[in-house]
Structure 1
Amino acid sequence: MKINCNDTLAVSLHRVFNADLNEHGTVFGGQILKLVDGEASVAAMRVTRSTVVTAAMDHVQFLRPFKLQDSMCMEAYVTGVGHRSLEVFVKVIGEHLMTGKRFLGFTCFMTYVIQDPTKKIAYDRVVPQDDEQRALTAGYQTRRRHRQENRQHQRDLLQSLTLKKPWQA
């Protein structure tokens, strides 16, 4: 069974206010990540119709800063599906509200997993509707393979981490 990328599309607009800014006068990166995770989860749940949990965020790129008098338009859609996991692409387009000039400010891929281990995704593929979606869905298997390879590296790295308090020798 297949699902169209556009059927998973989630779009939202956020205006930048003073409370969103860091000491540089730009939107705090953590604020963007919070908004992106929320937006991408909507796209994920449009496919799973189940509760999902965030498993990974990769290819994170803060391309241009968002400032006061900007808006952030977040677009998220599913670019690949597995049995219980799926990938969502997110881009954030800025708009200078005083001039109307638009810019690409942020992109990333999010991986979500269905929380209930007994449930599976009903779709076996995502069908792109435009050139952007075709390019992104075409790279899904390669990105998925890299994530799988990286998981073993992460397991090895985690074995090296300590939980002792830093002030104790």
Structure 2
Amino acid sequence: MDAIKCNDTLAISIHRVRNSDLNEHGTVYGGRTLELIDGQASVAAMRVARTTVATASMDHIQFLQPFDLQDSMCMEAYVTGFGRRSIEVFTKVIGEHLMTGERFLGFTSFMTFVILDAEKQVDFDRLIPESAEQKALVASYSQRVADRKEQRQKQQDFLSQISITKPWAK
């Protein structure tokens, strides 16, 4: 097996904010941001998987600053860890006020993708971070995995209490 660098998985794109992206407050809908980053992050995940992946979870979602009509959204996504069939991708969205050139961090999240084909798995045994940001995020990957495992157990306990029967049919 081989190693892969975080930068080899890096996916970057820029989206110009349009009227159709805006909510009643004149800022980008949160759901629109999630749609954009899901596509962006899937590119980074597939650069590791080289097969079809599906979004399994989104966590540590932070809407830090709103994006307005005269802004652009620069989305950067790269892999920060992986298992045999799961791949974690960090995504950040850097806004730019196009009239002034001022840049700001508007959004961050982690997403986990899974390889859909049960016969395939990640062909790499190591991820190599290069920047200080990448080193910090890759170093904390195992803690996020442990946190997710604990959260999944809590979620199962919670979901066992949720009724799916028709309340009006009793």
Name the TM tier (shorter chain): over 0.9
Moved more, 151-160 or 113-122: 151-160
Q: Deviations over 1:78-132 (max 9, x none)?
A: 0001010010000000000000000000000000000011211001221011101
Q: Which amino acid aligns with 2:4?
A: I
Q: Which amino acid aligns with 2:74?
A: C
- Residue 75 of structure 1 corresponds to 76
1:147 correspondence with 2:114: no
Counterpart-to-counterpart distance in 2, 1:106 and 1:56: 17
Tell me the TM-score normalised to structure 2 length: 0.96
- Residue 12 of structure 1 corresponds to 13
Counterpart-to-counterpart distance in 2, 1:75 and 1:153: 31
- Residue 44 of structure 2 corresponds to 43
- In the TM superposition, structure 1's runs of 4+ consecutive aligned residues that sit over 6 Å from their partners are none
C-alpha deviation, 1:150, in angstroms: 1.2
- Residue 63 of structure 1 corresponds to 64
Report the aligned-residue RMSD: 1.0
Q: Which amino acid aligns with 2:135?
A: R
C-alpha deviation, 1:60, in angstroms: 0.2
Partner secondary structure for residue 134 of structure 1: helix
C-alpha deviation, 1:167, in angstroms: 4.5
Structure 2 alignment gaps of length 5 or more: none
Counterpart-to-counterpart distance in 2, 1:155 and 1:163: 15
C-alpha deviation, 1:165, in angstroms: 3.2
C-alpha deviation, 1:39, in angstroms: 0.3
C-alpha deviation, 1:160, in angstroms: 1.0
Counterpart-to-counterpart distance in 1, 2:167 and 2:13: 42
Q: Which amino acid aligns with 1:95?
A: E
Structure 1 alignment gaps of length 5 or more: none
Counterpart-to-counterpart distance in 2, 1:165 and 1:3: 50
Q: Among the aligned pairs, what percent are the same residue?
A: 64
Partner secondary structure for residue 62 of structure 2: strand
Q: Cα gap change, 1:99/1:121 in structure 2, threshold over 3 Å: closer, same or farther?
A: same
Partner secondary structure for residue 67 of structure 1: coil
Counterpart-to-counterpart distance in 2, 1:165 and 1:23: 34
- Residue 112 of structure 2 corresponds to 111
